[in-house]
């Protein structure tokens, strides 16, 4: 950043309001100087002159110059933004962005740029946005200047700080100035104050700045202070990292809970090893895809409601398929768990191939509604809305199912059949229909799990296979048929997985979790929360 550019930016801050606009004729005159620039130094001076106008319109030609897309026409030295297409160059007005026709490559010349000039342009664009009317833009500019400190920007930042009225933005500007001070030859006292201010910011940006300063600074109080603050920041980041892993584990656990909760019912009540459970999840995800496709073509305004529409449909589709499977296959195999495993595995292959035939083998796009897009941060913790809503949704499904099991007559019948099937039948409970409706319920819940998983995973015929083994691990670890065990098991395994992954990797981490579960089952064969009942304990 040269002195001419610094002077221009100071004029912008001290002479007028943020976001002021220069006369278009003046801007065109300055932009036209690029055509007659003799060297990179004179081009950089023109960049500083443009930035000094404080007009947002100059961002377009500066960005084009940085990308190597700024041209001038040889016949009249008019400057344009160009895009090459074969032997022609499509021309665009550098200030308005309007199309300005085409020219042959031989009729125009590209304005040359090197790495040093690109850095000057980048800094100019960063400082230029300090004059925006929008506090968010000024905040982003301060963040950019913090990450790329430049001692020559200190005067510009001082001017911006003096005019800033938003407290949070002013703090970021002061932190950016502190970063520039560390890169300068200012006094030790100034650098000690800058180190203290950057350390209060915390985070990886502050760590990077202080680490770079400590590595290059001579021995003395500033380097010692930076080294001490680096230790404090590392300790703080370790705590934030642990908290982030816990959140990631809860997020993974909510996914496992959704995938396993239906299996906990069917496996616990019926003793059926349902290898087609993952395909029920897959059917729910494809139901979401179909609903969104219909909405996109017929009623785009309803897209934000697509998941609400897909939830009951996915429950009915997966539940209906589950009912057909139970009535057509499973009911002939009760009491023979290994045969139910083989039969449902065959059903899973049939369902996968059916979906491949209808929808194709490739991944299908399922969009996020606006209320599930984006994210936010709390301190050093990063949250995404889709994951947060899935955690809330999984808990809502869990408590709704718990209510059905504990507070309805049908739930009472299901628990009676689980505890003692023969006694339940002798009391008049139609155990075959309890089995059928239980299997349909478990499949339906897997279907609505597929709606949620479509927001964070690829929708493909193999979607369910990614979760079936993990679902069985959750059910066995938590206690077969126990919903609270499934909840605790899902979140426990999710958190343990996320703490193991950084050290062992994703694959080895899952293997270690499986080994730990096997060792745990040796001590507690019925899992964390074993069901009680004479038939179960026999």
Contacts of 396 (CB under 8 A, 6+ apart): none
pLDDT greater than 70 at residue 220: yes
pLDDT greater than 90 at residue 429: no
Give the pair of three-digit tokens for residue 76.
């009249």
Percent of the chain with pLDDT over 90: 14
What does the alpha-carbon distance between residue 207 and residue 451 come to, in Å, rounded to a whole number?
A: 41
Name the pLDDT band for 147 (thresholds 50, 70, 90).
confident
Give the pair of three-digit tokens for residue 333.
């195999």
Mean pLDDT of 265-279: 80
pLDDT at position 255 is 84
Contacts of 210 (CB under 8 A, 6+ apart): 195, 198, 199, 226, 229, 230, 233
Burial state string for 411-429 with b = 16 or more CB within 10 A and e = fewer than 16? eebbbbbbbbbeebeeeeb
167-177 pLDDT, tens per residue? 888 898 898 88
Lowest average pLDDT, out of 244-258, 260-274, 326-340, goes to: 260-274
Is 125 in contact with 63 (CB distance < 8 Å)? yes
Provide the total of helices (H) and of strands (E) in the chain, helices listed first: 22, 7
pLDDT at position 22 is 57
pLDDT greater than 60 at residue 353: yes
Cα angle value 160/161/164 (rounded, 5°): 85
Helix (H) or strand (E) holding 72: strand 70-73
pLDDT greater than 80 at residue 132: no
Q: Please identify which residue in the block is written with the tokens 């309890």.
A: 434
pLDDT at position 11 is 44
Name the pLDDT band for 285 (thresholds 50, 70, 90).
very high
- Using DSSP's 3-state secondary structure scheme, residue 166 falls into coil
Of 342, 340, 355, 316, the residue nearest 463 (C-alpha): 355
What does the alpha-carbon distance between residue 475 and residue 528 come to, in Å, rounded to a whole number?
A: 10
pLDDT at position 269 is 66
375-390 pLDDT, tens per residue? 888 877 888 888 899 8
What does the alpha-carbon distance between residue 103 and residue 84 come to, in Å, rounded to a whole number?
A: 10
Is 443 in contact with 262 (CB distance < 8 Å)? yes
In DSSP terms, which residues pair with 81 in a beta bridge?
70, 92
pLDDT greater than 70 at residue 47: yes
- Tell me what the pLDDT averaged over the chain comes to: 83
What does the alpha-carbon distance between residue 344 and residue 55 come to, in Å, rounded to a whole number?
A: 68
Higher pLDDT, residue 131 or 304: 304
Lowest average pLDDT, out of 6-20, 111-125, 163-177, 252-266, goes to: 6-20
Give the pair of three-digit tokens for residue 109.
């010349």
Contacts of 456 (CB under 8 A, 6+ apart): 255, 386, 387, 390
Mean pLDDT of 186-215: 88
What does the alpha-carbon distance between residue 392 and residue 469 come to, in Å, rounded to a whole number?
A: 24
Contacts of 116 (CB under 8 A, 6+ apart): 40, 44
Residue 391's CB: how many other CB atoms inside 10 A? Answer: 20
Mean pLDDT of 511-536: 69
148-166 pLDDT, tens per residue? 787 877 887 888 888 888 8
State how beta strands 70-73 and 79-85 pair. Answer: antiparallel
Give the pair of three-digit tokens for residue 23.
């006369």
pLDDT at position 8 is 47
Contacts of 356 (CB under 8 A, 6+ apart): 461
Higher pLDDT, residue 188 or 24: 188
Mean pLDDT of 394-412: 88
pLDDT greater than 90 at residue 414: no
pLDDT greater than 50 at residue 9: no
State how beta strands 88-92 and 99-104 pair. Answer: antiparallel
pLDDT at position 126 is 66
| Upper half-sphere CA count for residue 390 (Cβ side, 13 Å) | 30
57-94 pLDDT, tens per residue? 788 888 888 888 899 998 898 999 998 888 889 999 98
pLDDT at position 282 is 93
- Alpha carbon dihedral 9, 14, 19, 22, in 10-degree steps, equals -70
Of 455, 454, 531, the residue nearest 486 (C-alpha): 531
In DSSP terms, which residues pair with 381 in a beta bridge?
378
Name the pLDDT band for 531 (thresholds 50, 70, 90).
low
Name the pLDDT band for 486 (thresholds 50, 70, 90).
confident
Cα angle value 529/249/259 (rounded, 5°): 60
Contacts of 190 (CB under 8 A, 6+ apart): 181
Is 268 in contact with 530 (CB distance < 8 Å)? no
pLDDT at position 5 is 46
């Amino acid at each position: 950043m040269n002195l001419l550019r610094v002077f221009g930016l100071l004029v912008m801050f001290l002479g007028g309001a943020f976001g002021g606009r220069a006369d278009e004729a003046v801007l065109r005159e300055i932009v036209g100087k690029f055509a007659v620039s003799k060297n990179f130094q004179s081009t950089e001076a023109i960049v500083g002159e443009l930035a000094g106008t404080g007009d947002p319109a100059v961002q377009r030609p500066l960005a084009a110059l940085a990308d190597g897309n700024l041209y001038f026409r040889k016949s009249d030295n008019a400057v344009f933004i160009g895009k090459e297409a074969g032997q022609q160059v499509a021309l665009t007005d550098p200030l308005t962005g309007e199309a300005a026709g085409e020219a042959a490559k031989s009729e125009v010349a590209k304005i040359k740029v090197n790495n040093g000039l690109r850095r000057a342009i980048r800094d100019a664009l960063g400082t230029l946005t300090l004059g925006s009317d929008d506090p968010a833009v000024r905040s982003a500019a301060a963040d950019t200047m913090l990450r790329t400190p430049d001692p020559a920007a200190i005067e510009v930042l001082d001017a911006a700080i003096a005019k800033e009225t938003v407290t949070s933005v002013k703090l970021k500007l002061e932190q950016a100035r502190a970063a520039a001070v560390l890169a300068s030859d200012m006094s030790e006292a100034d650098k000690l104050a800058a180190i203290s201010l950057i350390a209060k910011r915390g985070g990886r940006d502050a760590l990077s700045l202080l680490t770079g300063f400590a590595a290059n600074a001579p021995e003395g109080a500033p380097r010692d202070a930076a080294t001490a603050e680096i230790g404090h920041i590392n300790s703080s980041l370790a705590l934030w990292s642990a908290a982030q892993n816990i959140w990631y584990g809860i997020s993974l656990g909510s996914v496992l809970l959704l995938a396993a909760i239906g299996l906990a019912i069917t496996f616990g009540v019926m003793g059926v090893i349902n290898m087609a459970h993952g395909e029920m999840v897959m059917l729910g995800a494809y139901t979401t895809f179909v609903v969104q496709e219909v909405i996109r073509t017929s009623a785009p305004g309803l897209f934000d409601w697509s998941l609400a529409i897909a939830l009951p449909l996915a429950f009915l589709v997966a539940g209906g398929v589950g009912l057909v499977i139970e009535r057509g296959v499973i009911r002939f195999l009760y009491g023979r768990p290994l045969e139910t495993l083989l039969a449902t595995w065959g059903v899973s292959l049939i369902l996968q191939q059916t979906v491949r035939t209808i929808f194709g083998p490739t991944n299908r796009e399922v969009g996020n509604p606006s209320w599930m897009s984006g994210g936010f941060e709390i301190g050093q913790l990063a949250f995404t809305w889709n994951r947060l809503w899935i955690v809330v949704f999984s808990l809502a499904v869990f408590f709704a199912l718990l209510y059905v099991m504990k507070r309805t007559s049908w739930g009472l019948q299901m628990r009676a059949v689980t505890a003692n099937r023969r006694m339940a039948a002798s009391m008049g409970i139609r155990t075959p229909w309890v089995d059928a409706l239980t299997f349909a319920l478990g499949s339906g819940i897997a279907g609505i799990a597929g709606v949620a998983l479509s927001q964070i995973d690829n929708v493909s015929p193999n979607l369910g296979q990614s979760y079936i083994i993990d679902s069985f691990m959750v059910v066995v670890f938590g206690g077969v048929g126990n919903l609270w065990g499934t909840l605790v098991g899902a979140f426990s395994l999710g958190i343990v997985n996320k703490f193991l992954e950084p050290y062992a990797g994703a694959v080895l981490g899952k293997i270690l979790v499986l080994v730990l579960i096997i060792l745990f089952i040796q001590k507690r064969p019925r899992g964390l929360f074993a069901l009680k009942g004479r038939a179960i304990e026999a």
